[in-house]
């Protein structure tokens, strides 16, 4: 669906170098701290910024070679984009109907009602949550089969975030061929949604893994200095000094539970994995 190979972009000190793949039928998450480079990746894919090297292919073509019909297959939510605040919800509907030949007016109205989007209010009077939901509804109501969502849950409270993740799960269940690329700096949003995870840190992809594999195979080993010396470090990805001794991140939990029954092994959450990979090590 989307293939990004070694795409490079420099902004002074910041240097992006990103390879990433979104497969059909899967939800791919891009997670990283503020300023890690998530929006830069989205902007490069959408042709909103130039890049210094590498290659991007959408549906096997360079973005500039996509025809109108192919572009319509994409639904986009960008962190900084949106309609003018002086439009009302119902004006947005009219614009979308003109913009997208496949605009699904009935579905748009149903979703606005279900998610309490006031069509008679000016967008500048919408809450952050309302704006975020409207942006997602827009992306979902023109029969797109590939969604690119940059921080769609930004500024939402926990309830609203859950609601939005539910909308995305339903979207995927409706058609097996659909795909989503979604970014967030909140790993718990992606942990329960994505099939594939990419972690970006200071412009570089520091981890690509299937979400199930992270939950099944990644773990934190909590060892004393002595245990650490005796430990087989072949499957240790990163170590960090702690009060109790040393915390070690592994991607082969079973190997250590079987071979070192005396060691404390804590199942890894995505948050822990990210913290270990992007925080200071030993």
Ligand X SMILES: Nc1ncnc2c1ncn2[C@@H]1O[C@H](COP(=O)(O)OP(=O)(O)OP(=O)(O)O)[C@@H](O)[C@H]1O
Interface residues with ligand X (CB under 6 A) are: 11, 14, 32, 34-40, 79, 185
248 contacts 239 by C-beta, under 8 angstroms? yes
Which residue lies nearer to ligand X by CB, 39 or 179? 39
273 contacts 213 by C-beta, under 8 angstroms? no
Residues 6+ apart with CB under 8 A from 251: 209, 213, 217, 218, 235, 237
Closest residue by Cα to residue 182 from 166, 193, 167: 193
Which residue lies nearer to ligand X by CB, 3 or 33? 33
Tell me the closest approach of the beta carbon of residue 17 to ligand X, in angstroms.
12
Tell me the closest approach of the beta carbon of residue 89 to ligand X, in angstroms.
26
Neighbours of 191 (CB within 10 A): 19
Tell me the closest approach of the beta carbon of residue 238 to ligand X, in angstroms.
21
* Burial status of residue 174 (CB atoms within 10 A of its CB: 0-12, 13-18, 19 or more): exposed
C-alpha–C-alpha distance, residues 59 and 137, integer Å: 23
Which residue lies nearer to ligand X by CB, 37 or 89? 37
Phi then psi dihedrals of residue 148, to 5 deg = -115, 110
Tell me the closest approach of the beta carbon of residue 181 to ligand X, in angstroms.
13
Neighbours of 34 (CB within 10 A): 7
Would you give the DSSP letter of residue 157? Answer: -
Tell me the closest approach of the beta carbon of residue 156 to ligand X, in angstroms.
14
Tell me the closest approach of the beta carbon of residue 48 to ligand X, in angstroms.
10
C-alpha–C-alpha distance, residues 122 and 115, integer Å: 17
Which residue lies nearer to ligand X by CB, 39 or 272? 39
Residues 6+ apart with CB under 8 A from 122: 85, 86, 87, 88
Which residue lies nearer to ligand X by CB, 10 or 224? 10
Which residue lies nearer to ligand X by CB, 14 or 244? 14
């Amino acid at each position: 669906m989307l293939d990004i190979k070694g795409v490079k972009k420099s902004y002074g000190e910041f240097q992006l170098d990103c390879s990433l793949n979104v497969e059909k039928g899967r939800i791919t998450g891009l997670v990283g701290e503020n300023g890690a480079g998530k929006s830069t990746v989205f902007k490069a894919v959408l042709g909103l910024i130039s890049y210094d090297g590498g290659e991007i292919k959408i549906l096997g073509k360079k973005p500039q070679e996509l025809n109108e019909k192919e572009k319509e297959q994409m639904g986009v939510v960008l962190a900084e984009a949106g309609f003018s605040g002086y439009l009302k919800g119902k004006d947005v509907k009219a614009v979308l109907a003109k913009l997208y030949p496949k605009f699904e007016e009935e579905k748009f109205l149903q979703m606005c009602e279900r998610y309490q989007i006031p069509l008679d209010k000016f967008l500048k009077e919408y809450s952050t949550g309302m704006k975020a939901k409207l942006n997602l509804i827009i992306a979902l109501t023109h029969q797109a089969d590939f969604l690119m969502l940059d921080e769609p849950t930004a500024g939402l409270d926990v309830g609203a975030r859950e609601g939005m993740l539910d909308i995305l799960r339903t979207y995927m269940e409706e058609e097996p061929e659909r795909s989503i690329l979604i970014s967030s700096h909140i790993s718990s949003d992606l942990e329960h949604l994505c099939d594939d995870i990419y972690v970006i840190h200071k412009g570089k992809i520091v981890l690509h893994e299937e979400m199930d594999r992270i939950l099944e195979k990644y773990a934190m080993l909590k060892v004393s200095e002595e245990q650490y010396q005796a430990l087989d470090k072949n499957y240790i990805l990163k170590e960090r000094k702690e009060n109790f001794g040393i915390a070690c991140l592994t991607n082969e939990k079973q190997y250590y539970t079987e071979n070192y029954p005396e060691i404390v092994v804590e199942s890894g959450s995505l948050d822990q994995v990210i913290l270990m990979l992007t925080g200071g090590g030993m």
